[in-house]
Amino acid sequence: MKYKNMSAFLLLAITFTVTSFSQDLLSKEEAISQMLVNNFGIKIAENQVEVADNNQSVLNSGYLPTLTGNANAQYDRSNETREFPGAFNEDGTPRPNTEIEGAESQSYNASLNVNYLLFDGLGRFYNYKQLKETYNLTELQARETIENTTLQLFSVYFDVARLTENLEVFKQALEISQKRVTRSQYGFDYGQSTKLEVLQAEVDVVTDSVNVLNAKQQLLNAKRDLNVVLNRELETIGFQVDTLVEFENDLLLESFVEKAEFNNVTLLQAESQTRISDFEIKANKALLLPSVGLTGSYGWNRVNSPASAFFPGSVSRGNNLTVGANLTWNLFDGGRSIVGIKNAKILNDSQKLQEQQFELQVNRDIANALGNYRNLLKIYKIQEQNVETNQNNLERSRERLNLGQISSIEFRQAQINLINVQTNKNLAKYDAKLAELELLRLTGQLLNVEF
């Protein structure tokens, strides 16, 4: 009775949790679309690309002139006492002091100044090329982020798919065990089996029910992990995923491998960084050459002067236009430019060495990924055949159990064997597909194939 009560409780819990799910399908294409729009890492990478795009603009190139405006206004108010010692009027009396109170003066001026660099030893040219190449590098870094996030997405997506299929396996096992309980009970009631067989069948129902509950919880957890990658509400769990997996043609994969050096994002980034390093050397060499620039200014001024003891008040106005050219040549800066050039060359050599290192590592990774993929694909096909064999074995065991030729324990072992090979087949299928996706990532084709 104890087993029956526990079994009934577990069945009720399973029924409640399974029926609480809707059947909305989150396809692979829809998952990718949501990832590209919502994923935090991809958004940050897109912002970095936008910054690099702004930096490569002509507005940040140094090719445009600079224009500055200046304006000034000044007000002055003063009191003045002027003495004339030894000075006399016409009638011979001493000349009195002159008092000037509240003398006001104003001055105004404004100017526009233009500077334009005609030539700077091509430093500006190579700096601009550096900005352009930095933008290309940032785009490659964003592509790498998208590729890695896509691989992460499918790792979680396929985990959801695998657990979904495992859940069906455990539910089928539970259904078989439930039928065994009914059959064993009938057999006991009619004296064809012992109570031990009934109890054993009930124990197996409990075990299978627990397996279903655990698989259900694992599936819920995996769906929340998928929601994190997609940056959506964690409790959006009322969806199913596509469990259909198709593998790429082997000849197509080989063609991808042959062209990997032209498409692998790591190698492309290394090449871009080498080009940036080349431009850095040339920009440093430009410091040894003279620079030529043009200057121009236009100014306007007005001064209002108050009356004084000797002069009446006055107003003066003026404007001026100035155009000039200048040549600057830093003949010797203490050797800093020479040191900068030497260091830039050393860094360029290091970058080329790193590029060779990356090429060797990527070729190794591709060879390993191709071998892993082919090996896992073979394992999956073997597991498929193994499932078919164990299904036939279970059917034979069921027939022999009905005829009383084997015990319920032997039948249960056949059932457990089938459960194990089915879950192993599910694992092998998605492991093989993930290995294929890793190979596609390394060959630079992950974003160019259909899922």
* DSSP letters spanning 257-308: HHTHHHH-HHHHHHHHHHHHHHHHHHHHHGGGS-EEEEEEEEEEEEEEE---
CA distance 21 to 164: 12
Cα 14–17–22 angle (5° rounding)?
135
Q: In the prediction, which pLDDT does 351 show?
A: 95
Q: In the prediction, which pLDDT does 16 show?
A: 42
Looking from the CA of 415 toward its CB, the CA atoms found within 13 Å total 24
Asked if residue 243 lies in contact with residue 166, where contact means CB atoms within 8 angstroms, the answer is no
Q: Which element (helix H / strand E) includes 111?
A: strand 98-119
CA distance 428 to 90: 125
Residues 6+ apart with CB under 8 A from 281: 341, 344, 345, 348
pTM: 0.84
CA distance 275 to 258: 24
CA distance 67 to 132: 25
Q: In the prediction, which pLDDT does 198 show?
A: 80
Type of residue numbered 403: L
Helix, strand, coil % (nearest 5) of the chain? 65, 15, 20
Q: Which element (helix H / strand E) includes 131?
A: helix 123-189
CA distance 310 to 100: 12
CA distance 372 to 367: 9
The total number of residues written for the chain in this structure: 451
Judge residue 381's burial from the number of C-beta atoms within 10 Å of its C-beta, 0-12 exposed, 13-18 middle, 19 or more buried.
middle
Report helix, strand or coil for 45: helix
Q: In the prediction, which pLDDT does 86 show?
A: 64
Asked if residue 293 lies in contact with residue 117, where contact means CB atoms within 8 angstroms, the answer is yes
Report helix, strand or coil for 362: helix
Both structure tokens of 163:
């657990």
Q: Which element (helix H / strand E) includes 317?
A: strand 314-328
Looking from the CA of 114 toward its CB, the CA atoms found within 13 Å total 13
Q: What's 154-169 look like in SS3?
A: HHHHHHHHHHHHHHHH
Q: What is the pLDDT along the chain (451 residues), one digit of tens a residue?
A: 444 444 444 444 444 444 444 458 999 999 999 999 999 999 999 999 999 999 999 999 889 999 999 999 988 776 666 565 666 666 666 666 666 666 677 888 999 999 999 999 899 999 999 999 999 999 999 999 999 999 999 999 999 999 999 999 999 999 998 988 888 777 677 766 677 878 888 888 999 999 999 999 999 999 999 999 999 999 999 999 999 999 999 999 999 999 999 999 999 999 999 999 999 999 999 999 999 999 999 998 887 766 555 555 567 788 889 999 999 998 888 899 999 999 999 999 999 999 999 999 999 999 999 999 999 999 999 999 999 999 999 999 988 888 888 888 899 999 999 999 999 999 999 999 999 999 999 999 999 998 8
Pairing relationship of beta strands 24-26 and 98-119 according to DSSP bridges:
unpaired
- The edge-to-edge listing of strands for the beta sheet with 291-305 is 66-82, 98-119, 291-305, 314-328
Q: In the prediction, which pLDDT does 52 show?
A: 96
Residues 6+ apart with CB under 8 A from 338: none
Of 125, 137, 136, which is closest to residue 282 (Cα–Cα)? Answer: 125
Neighbours of 307 (CB within 10 A): 11
List, in sequence order, every residue forming a beta bridge with 299; answer none if it has no partner: 111, 320
List, in sequence order, every residue forming a beta bridge with 293; answer none if it has no partner: 117, 326
Residue with tokens 């919502």: 38
Q: Which DSSP letter does residue 73 get?
A: E
Asked if residue 235 lies in contact with residue 220, where contact means CB atoms within 8 angstroms, the answer is no
Judge residue 335's burial from the number of C-beta atoms within 10 Å of its C-beta, 0-12 exposed, 13-18 middle, 19 or more buried.
exposed
Q: In the prediction, which pLDDT does 104 show?
A: 76
- 195-230 and 28-38 helices cross at what angle (nearest 10)? 40
Residue 327, Cα to own-chain centre: how many angstroms? 47
Q: In the prediction, which pLDDT does 329 show?
A: 92
Pairing relationship of beta strands 98-119 and 291-305 according to DSSP bridges:
antiparallel
Both structure tokens of 420:
């194990």
Both structure tokens of 174:
């539970």
